[in-house]
Amino acid sequence: MKMWDGRFQKESDKALDAFNSSISFDKRLYREDITGSVAHAKMLGKCGIISEESSRAIVAGLEGILDDIESGKLEISPDAEDIHMFVEQVLSERIGDDGKRLHTGRSRNDQVAVDIKMYLKRMILEIKSGLLDLLSVIHGLAKDHTNAIMPGYTHLQRAQPVTFSHYVLAYAQMFMRDVSRLNDTYSRADVMPLGSGALAGTTYPIDRQYTKELLGFSGVTQNSMDGVSDRDAVIETCFDLSLIMMHLSRFSEEIILWSSHEFAFIELDDAFSTGSSIMPQKKNPDVAELVRGKTGRVYGDLTALLSMMKSLPLAYNKDMQEDKEALFDAIDNTAACISIFSKMLATVKVREDKMRAAASKGFINATDCADYLTKKGMPFRTAYKTVGKMVAFASEKGVGFEDMSLDEFKSFSPLFENDVFEAISLDACVSRRLSEGGPGPASQKRQLEALTAFIEKETSGSDS
C-alpha cells in the first residue's frame, strides 16, 4: 500500500514502482530525514497542531528508528518508494495513529528539500575539512623546500627560476579559494525550506522560526514555491566540487610529469604507486592519474544537474529526483580524491638536486640578464634583443651564460661587468625577486604565514 494511494483505484504497475523508486540512493539521507521529522513533530506539538502527547510519541518513535538503523537492527527496505515513506511507514507500524499525524502541515516536497540542505551542510564541512588537511600537507612541503630552486614554466617550456615552495604554494592559493567558495555555498544552503508545503505553504499555524532553531539553520526561505523548487545549493556545491577537482587535476598533472624519468623532480612513495603486469621496472602514478580521470566524472555530474534544471517550471517536478545521484557521486568522488591525494603528497620525496640541475639549463636567467642591462641604463626592449642574440650565440656553442667569458659578454654590450655572473646566478635570480607574491624569501615567508593563519582560522570554525 502506498501512502498516496487514496485517489487511485488500481495498483501501480511493478515496472512503475521500480522506475519511480529512489530508495536505492536516497536512503543515505535517513539521518537528515529523521532529524527533520523530529523537529517538525516538536513544532507541531508546541503549536498545538497535534497534542504534546502525540508529539512526544512521534519523537520517541523516530529516535528509536534512527538508533535501530544505525545499529543495524532495522534494515532499510529496498521495496520502499523512498526514505521519507519508509521512515513514516515504520513509524506508523510502531506507534499507530500518532505516526500518521507526523506529516501534518508538510509535504514530501519541502521534506526532501530540507533533507538535502541538511545533508549539503554536513558534506560541505567534511569536504572543507579534507581541503584543510591537504593545505597542511602543502604547507609542510613548502616549508621544507623554501630554497629548492627549480624551473618555472610557461607553455611547458622552461621560463624563469622559482622554488619548489613557491610552486606548491600556488596550489595552496587555489585550495584556499575553494574553501572560501564552500563557505559561501554553505551560507546559501543554510536557509530552511521546511514549512513551504507542497508549494503554497500550509493553513496550519506552524512556527518555522522554531523549527529553524531546532535544525540549526540561520534563516528560512521567503517564498514557498522557490523553497521547494530551488536546487541552487546542490548545483553550486557541485560547481565548487568541480573546481576543486580541476585544481586537483592540474596538480596531478604536475605530479605525473615530475615523477617521470624525463623530469625526475620527485619520487612517489611505493605505498602510493602501482606497477606493471609486464614491465618490471615500472612505477606508475596511478593515484594522480585517477584523480585526473575522475575530474571529468564530477564535471559530468554538474552538467547533469544544470541540464536537469534548465527548463523546469515551478514548483516541484519529478525530474528533480535526479539531483541526488549526481550530487552523491560528485561528493563521494571529490572526498575520496582529496583524501588519497593528500596522503600521496605527504609521502613524496623531493629531488632538489634534479630540480636545480634542470634550472641550470634552458637560459631561464635570460630575463635577469636583460634586467641587469636595464639597470645599467639600457632600455629594456634593447636589452631584450641583446640578450636574445646572446642566447642564440650560447646555444650554438652549446654553453650556458655561466660558461661564457666576460669578454664574450662585452662583445654584446660594454655595460657588462664582472658582477653580471652574480646577478644571473640562480640563487640571485630568485632572492632578488622582491615583488609581493613573488618567489623571493620574504614573499615565501609571508605566504607561509598567511597559509598558517588561514588554516587556523578555518579549523576554528569561525566562518561556519
DSSP for 88-117, please give it: HHHHHHHHTHHHHTTTTT--HHHHHHHHHH
pLDDT in tens, 213-223: 999 999 999 99
In this model, does residue 16 exceed pLDDT 80? no
pLDDT of residue 9: 65
* pLDDT, mean over the chain: 95
Confidence category of residue 406, pLDDT binned at 50, 70, 90: very high
58 occurs within a structural domain = yes
Do 74 and 139 sit in the same domain of this protein? no
In this model, does residue 290 exceed pLDDT 90? yes
225 occurs within a structural domain = yes
- Please tell me the least confidently modeled range out of 2-11, 299-308, 410-419: 2-11
208 occurs within a structural domain = no
Do 396 and 315 sit in the same domain of this protein? no
- Domains of the chain: total: 3
178 occurs within a structural domain = yes
464 occurs within a structural domain = no
Do 414 and 295 sit in the same domain of this protein? no
Note whether 283 and 256 are within 8 A (CB): no
In this model, does residue 303 exceed pLDDT 70? yes
Residues 6+ apart with CB under 8 A from 391: 363, 366
212 occurs within a structural domain = no
pTM of the model: 0.93
Note whether 283 and 275 are within 8 A (CB): yes
Residue 300: which CATH number? 1.20.200.10
Q: 293: helix, coil or strand? A: helix
Q: Mean pLDDT throughout 412-436?
A: 94
Which of 357, 375, 390 is the last residue in one of the domains?
A: 357
What span, in angstroms and rounded, lies between the C-alpha atoms of 442 and 165?
12
Which of 331, 357, 383 is the last residue in one of the domains?
A: 357
> Which of the 8 DSSP states describes residue 319?
G
Note whether 160 and 364 are within 8 A (CB): yes
The residues that are catalytic are 155, 276
Q: Mean pLDDT throughout 361-366?
A: 93
Q: Mean pLDDT throughout 434-462?
A: 93
Would residue 155 be called left, alpha or beta, if left means φ above 0 and alpha means ψ between -120 and 50 degrees?
A: left
pLDDT in tens, 126-157: 999 999 999 999 999 999 999 999 999 999 99
In this model, does residue 3 exceed pLDDT 90? no
Domain of residue 37 covers: 5-104
Number of H helices, E strands in the chain: 20, 6
- Neighbouring C-beta atoms of residue 377, cutoff 10 Å: 8
pLDDT of residue 5: 61
Residue 176: all three cell numbers together = 584556499
Do 99 and 163 sit in the same domain of this protein? no
Which of 104, 136, 163 is the last residue in one of the domains?
A: 104
